A and B are shown apart, each in its own frame.
Chain A
Amino acid sequence: MTRLFRAFGAPLASVILLLSGVWILGLIAAPQLIMIEQSLWRMERPEGSAEISVQIDGLYNRLDVIGLDRSVAESETDSAKRETELAALAAEEAAIKAEIAVLEEKESTPVKVYTLDNFGQMGSAHLAIFAKTIVASLAVSAIALVVCYPIAYAVAKLETPRTAAAIMLALVIPYAINELLRIFAWQMILNNNGPANALLGLLGFDPVPFLDSGAGVFVAMVYAYILFMVFPLYNVLETLDSNQVEAARDLGASTWQIHRRVVIPHARPGIAVGCIMTFMLSAGSYAVPYIMTRGTAAPWFTQLIYNRFFEATNWNVGAAYALSLLAVCTVFIFLMMRLLKVSLKDIAK
């Protein structure tokens, strides 16, 4: 900290600290912590509310009795006595009404109770969707890795630097085009009367309801996020010294051995980044299932989260769902870092 002040002088250092603080505490840490807190409580009817409602019922009965007493009192002939009795009854009635108001307030005002029940709200149906989302996202990552590895290797190692640069620039274009447009292209292709079904029709097949079966979500997801695998892989493979590959070949290694022992170990950070990005984007994607199902196929977990917040308006359960998704992504990141022995510094390059 003193180094900061020495390096920039007090006024500038204060501005740096202030801005960093607003970002780290105000925009990153505080919202996450509040979300965690929100997932851990809910508003409940207060404890003993059943006893209170019995008590309230008793008081209402008492009011009825007072009503009877009053009609008896009103038939009293002695006016002085009648007045005092009626006044006493009115006072008692007012006291009971006040007590009822207090008790009813107590009965109906929910209290904040800390509980893990929000996570338990998931039930088997939502849990199945959660599991499906995770498995499908893992599959997207795996497919992207298998498809992209040869591409990245071929571009980085087999092409001249000039051609490689041109190829990567060409790939930047679909990468930079808005996610929604890439998804929409597939919605058109897989639509009931789209080109995919037209082609199947020419081959004599019945139309396939790609969108309504949820298959469309998966196809569009692979397409939308596959380029997040190509670029990290290419970036690490570009730094691989071709002499290493040559040396391995001269020493008699087979192609498979070269990749297993030389290329893949070198590509670890790229593999980690690619897998983390594709998994995180798939599991956290709202756009793809939203556009690719039109609500006809089973929802994606992100849609459940959205509904908890903006349709069912149960923010506590929504926060618990969101936190579950975040936890899965965090675990995945640590697993990849462990498995591929890379640090966060390698990942964020």
Chain B
Amino acid sequence: MTRAVSGSTFVLRLYMALFFAYMFLPLGVMVAAGVNDYSPPSITVWQGFTLRWFAEFWGDARMWLGLANSLLIAAAVMALALPMGLSGALLLSQLGRRSAGLLYTVMVSPLLTPGIIIGISTVIFWRNLDVTAGLFTAILAQSAFIASYAMLMFMARLQRQDLTLEEAALDLGASRARAFRRITLPFLKPTIMTAAVIAFLQSFENYNTTIFSIGGNHTLVTEIGARMRFGISPMINALGILFIVVTVICAVAWAALRRREYQLESVK
């Protein structure tokens, strides 16, 4: 900005700095307690640096079982939600305005519904069929709304598709299925990758829907929630540090990828 920093810009800058402090300081508190050699987690009593809470997590069988359940659920959700979301988007792309509008409303409704309602309604439905709540119902409940995310992403991509390519393939004698496999799917590939990552993260990190639909089982995140309530061991903070590290790596990688994509498109 060439203009001199005016009074109101200064106020805005200060406000933004405060907002950033508000966003990051609480996370800093949590990180600090994760390496403080004092239990229960605290930063007001400082006993020195330690990594023993990480070791405690390492030896916790319930956490590992939760992690295994989380990964299993996330894999199943990806396998279910991506094809459903893609089908939904393809179906919408071929429907008339009015019927597409109604269908679209139903397809995005899970995103506007509180997660606990999706969870509990799935459990009620399957109990009527004598299926008790467990990993299976958690997978279905999560897929219901994660497919909506996938559908929106595929729809955005399909709207940018160059239909002449597909028509050319058909003119050259390709069958519909072949044209879809050779033209549309490769075009959708980048979106399939991002949608898979989003689906995985949404599933892995989910709490509200999962806690209402998983019955007596647990995932890593629901187990963390149960331990947090009484905040007994800084092991939770150590786990939090791991989550933060992974999140930062993912965010930076994502930004780098987007930048490369952006540069590639501007080169074209």
Give me the interface of A with B, judged by CB distance under 8 Å.
3-4, 7-9, 11-12, 15-20, 22-24, 27-32, 34-35, 38, 147, 150-151, 154-155, 158, 160, 165, 167, 169-174, 176-189, 191, 193-195, 198, 223, 227, 255, 276, 280-281, 283-287, 290-291, 294, 302, 305-306, 309, 315, 318-319, 322, 325-326, 329, 333, 344-345, 347-348
Contacts and interface: CB of A to CB of B under 8 A. Distances in A.
Nearest to A284: B114
Contact of B114 (A7, A31, A325): A325
Contact of A326 (B27, B29, B113, B177): B113
A9 B143 CA distance: 27
B116 A7 contact: no
Contact of A169 (B85, B229, B251): B251
B116 A294 contact: no
B113 A160 contact: no
Given A174-B23, A182-B27, A9 B176 contact: yes
Interface string B82-126: 011111101100110000000111111111111111101111110
B207 A180 contact: yes
Contacts, number: 242
Contacts of A315: 124, 127
Contacts of A188: 29-30, 33, 41-43, 231
B84 A20 contact: yes
B9 interface: yes
Contacts of B196: none
Given A7-B176, A154-B16, A182-B26, A20 B114 contact: no
B30 A181 contact: yes
B140 interface: yes
A176 B244 CA distance: 9
Interface string B180-224: 100000000000000000000100010110011000000001001
A180 B228 contact: yes
A305 B211 contact: no
Contacts of A173: 244, 247-248, 251
A344 B205 contact: no
Contact of B16 (A151, A179, A333, A344): A151
A187 B121 contact: no
> Can you list the 7 inter-chain pairs with the closest CB atoms, starting with the nearest?
A284-B114, A9-B176, A185-B26, A19-B87, A31-B121, A23-B84, A31-B125
11 contacts: A11-B177, A34-B121, A170-B20, A171-B23, A172-B254, A173-B251, A179-B205, A286-B211, A290-B225, A309-B212, A344-B108
B124 A35 contact: yes
B165 interface: no
A291 B225 contact: yes
Nearest to B118: A31
A322 B120 contact: yes
B215 to A, nearest CB: 9
A322 B116 contact: yes
Contact of B91 (A17, A35, A154, A167): A17
